[in-house]
Structure 1
Amino acid sequence: MRSEWLNWCETLSEAELLAPQVGGVGSIAKTMLHIIDVEWSWIRRIQGQSDEEYQLGSEDSLEQIIQLNHRYHNEVKAFVDAWEPEWEKRLYDDGHPPFDRWGEIMRHLIAHEIHHIGQLSVWARQLGYEPISANVIGRNLLEK
């Protein structure tokens, strides 16, 4: 679904992509980047790896956001593909409460993306565009 949204973003003008929006993290571009960055950051943190928040600069283009998504996605996919059932209850302890289980964090990542997809859908309609369907039925996700 994220790839579909990124493809959809390619149909927007730069002004539409960067225009301030009510809610979210500021703009369509910043929201897409936020979705990508939060997923990657959490996956790295629960594995005990460092993460650095990517800041959208004025020189960044949608193409750079798409490339970042591809780069981060490879790392996230490798982690998800390697998922073991016992990781579900593994405790994430970074020294600062609350201490959540890995399974809870993974569910949070799913809810986080769905939340922002809802915002993108509203903004798309406000701009006069048809949003990408959030429906997971018929996407054959278990076969991908």
Structure 2
Amino acid sequence: MTYIETLFLYNWTIRDRWIDWCRDISRDELIKERVGGHKGFLQTMFHVIDVEQRWLRGLAEDTPINYSYSDYKTLDSIQTFSNQTKQHTLGFVQADIDLNQKVLRGKNSKGEDFAYRYDEVLLHVIAHETHHMGQLSVWARELGKEPVSANLIGLELLK
């Protein structure tokens, strides 16, 4: 197992724990707009999963799907979206590709050319999710609740 695959497994483990954690707060708290992050618990989780699927579909040369948060306003729908995205991502991460050599090419929203190495994009997606899970921890503490542990040690992902 590569370190990149391990870090994706780590993020997904923590994501699943956050989804379970959110089942213990009210719907109002789940969707309440907050300072920082991506508005609130549910919308931040949608955002993280959506960003992952967009980047990974781009790397796999699939057309990214334009999902809408309005279609994912329950924890169950977020869990389903997460599971579907994980399967697509895992298929790409486990494929026999040269992460250092291949690039994702295209045009950005301003019409400018870009080219990124695959490993650079994968690490960006990993860091992006980790950043947002940290925001959930801040919000959990604001609610007076213990956040999900972000500790990788003890998860036994390196098998």
State TM-score, norm by structure 1: 0.91
Q: Which of 105, 122, 126 is residue 138 of structure 2 equivalent to?
A: 122
Cα distance 1:83–1:106, how it changes in 2: closer, same or farther (>3 A)?
Answer: farther
Aligned twin of 2:102: 90
Q: Does 1:66 align with 2:116?
A: no
Cα distance 1:59–1:139, how it changes in 2: closer, same or farther (>3 A)?
Answer: closer
Aligned twin of 2:89: 76
Task: After TM superposition, list the pairs within 5 Å mapping 1:8-27 onto structure 2.
Answer: 8-27=21-40
2:46/2:72 contact within 8 Å kept: no
Structure 1 runs of 4+ off > 3 angstroms?
95-98
Q: What is the distance in 1 between the residues matched to 2:69 and 2:29?
A: 16
2:60/2:92 contact within 8 Å kept: no
Q: What is the distance in 1 between the residues matched to 2:30 and 2:47?
A: 14
Residue 140 of structure 1, CA deviation: 1.2
- State the one-letter code of the partner of 1:126: E
* Larger relative strand fraction: 2
Alignment size in residue pairs: 142
Aligned twin of 1:48: 61
- 5+ residue gaps, structure 1, are none
Task: After TM superposition, list the pairs within 5 Å mapping 1:95-106 onto structure 2.
Answer: 95=107, 96-106=112-122
Q: Which of 130, 141, 144 is residue 157 of structure 2 equivalent to?
A: 141
Q: What is the distance in 1 between the residues matched to 2:25 and 2:113?
A: 41
State TM-score, norm by structure 2: 0.83
- State the one-letter code of the partner of 1:133: S
Structure 2 residue matching 1:92: 3-state secondary structure = strand
- 5+ residue gaps, structure 2, are 1-13
Tell me: higher relative CO, structure 1 or 2? Use CA pairs within 8 A at least 6 residues apart: 2
Name the Cα RMSD after superposition: 1.6
Aligned twin of 2:16: 3
